[in-house]
Amino acid sequence: MKIVFADSFYFFALLICNDQAHDRALALTSPAMGKIVTTPWVLTEVADGLAAPINRHLFFRLVQILSEHPNAVTVPAEETLFRAGIALYTARGDKNWSLTDCISFEVMRRLGIQDALTGDHHFEQAGFVALLR
């Protein structure tokens, strides 16, 4: 079974119909896709981006979908991941990587995930495949 990492870019593209990556995100979303892995930090980014009252229902729907999806995994927010993300964030001061990105990279490395549902070029800079680019 293929395992992919889902970034906030993907969730925004999937949830917002007029997002320029919406059709690509839909095309990559299928029951046969395999396991989808994300983190609470990514979901926090999505919640923050959908904070306007008119959009909040989208976030609640996403959480419901992820909780019911048999192949969706949200990696627990552990202190060791947070610290590893901070270490990478500190070490790569030459990049514009967010702390959430750095934590995502650590999760992907630890789980041996190469492909990310994202259009964020930072994932490519870190050596991963951005499937929505």
In a domain, 60, yes or no: yes
Strand partners, 38: 74
* Mean pLDDT for the stretch of residues 20-24: 95
Question: Mean pLDDT in the chain?
Answer: 96
Q: What integer pLDDT is reported at residue 31 of this predicted model?
A: 65
The arithmetic mean of pLDDT across residues 105-121, rounded, is 98
Does 33 have pLDDT greater than 80? no
Nearest to 38 by CA among 126, 116, 93, 109: 116
Domain of 28 in residue numbering reads as 3-77+114-130
| pLDDT greater than 90 at residue 34 | no
Cβ within 8 Å of residue 15, ≥6 positions away: 46, 50, 58, 61, 62
Domain contains 107: no
Angle between the N-to-C axes of helices 99-111 and 40-49, in degrees from 0 to 180, rounded to the nearest 10: 140
Q: What is the pLDDT of residues 37-95, one digit of tens each?
A: 999 999 999 999 999 999 999 999 999 999 998 899 999 999 999 999 999 999 999 99
Counted domains in the chain: 1
Helix (H, G, I), strand (E, B) or coil at 129: strand
Looking at the domain assignment, is residue 70 inside a domain? yes
